[in-house]
Structure 1
Amino acid sequence: MSNHPIATVAAAPVAAHEPPYYAVVFTSLRTEGDNGYGETAERMGELVKEIPGFLGEDYARTPGGLGISVAYFRDEAAIEEWRNHLEHRAAKRHGRDHWFERYSIHISKVEHSHGFERAHQ
């Protein structure tokens, strides 16, 4: 999954999709400093969009360093393709060595999805 630096622009949640699909939740606590993280996160964000079945990603980071990324995929094959992507694998190894104090990954099947958007006049 990709991780993005703290966003400085307005963001919107990923739109609801027709279930079933999958959510990959990556929760992390970063080490101090950027150490090349931002550039790699941007690159991973570009690469994951090339994975057939990638539906989008929601991301947030607290001032204390806790990051939560939820990437949505149409099926388990798309998740597996991203997990095994060579450049992504290298970034994950580097992340364990340099960027993360700890992280957890949870994969869930989404069986219900809906959204809301306020009409602006």
Structure 2
Amino acid sequence: MYVALFWGKVRPEWQNDDCAAIGGRMFERASAMPGFVALHKLDVPDGRELAVAYFETEEQMRAWYDDPEHRAVETLGRREILEDYTIEILELKRAYTKASSTFAPTVADERAADGIVAGLRAAPAS
């Protein structure tokens, strides 16, 4: 699986419903692409936004990059919407959930975890 991390800072004049509508349209379009898995969007405390897009293969992610409407929005983003951005493309090697994890804590791990909880409970309330 391939993951694109898109870190962007939207210019103040574009922090409006127009920008939100463009983002919604891009989500609709991306989610209809073959190989699209998911998209997550987060606001970062430093004023940036982080979008995380997952595609099954590198080729399918490339098809999204080459999509004409996406390219037009990318052009608009570079020209007007974004103050700055960074894109990072990653190949996901492993993913698991709490239920599917094979993590098996040792006795030492359990004791260390108990020590963390004991330290928190002993700390004075702030």
TM-score between both structures, scaled by the size of structure 2: 0.72
Percent identity between the aligned chains? 28
Note the aligned Cα RMSD (angstroms).
1.5
**Deviation (angstroms), 1:63:** 5.3
In the alignment, which residue of structure 2 is the partner of 1:25?
A: 5
For residues 72 and 12 of structure 2, the distance between their equivalents in structure 1, rounded to whole angstroms, comes to: 20
Looking at secondary structure, tell me which structure has more helix per residue: 2
Q: Does 1:102 align with 2:80?
A: no
User: Per-residue CA shift, 1:50-69, capped at 9, x if unaligned?
Assistant: 11101001110135421111
Tell me the amino acid that sits aligned with residue 23 of structure 1.
V
Helix, strand or coil at the partner of 1:26? strand
For structure 1, which runs of at least 5 residues remain unmatched after alignment?
1-20
Tell me the amino acid that sits aligned with residue 71 of structure 1.
A
**Deviation (angstroms), 1:97:** 1.3
Structure with greater Cα Rg? 2
For structure 2, which runs of at least 5 residues remain unmatched after alignment?
100-126
For residues 6 and 66 of structure 2, the distance between their equivalents in structure 1, rounded to whole angstroms, comes to: 16
Q: Which runs of 4+ in 1 moved over 6 A?
A: none
For residues 91 and 66 of structure 1, the distance between their equivalents in structure 2, rounded to whole angstroms, comes to: 18
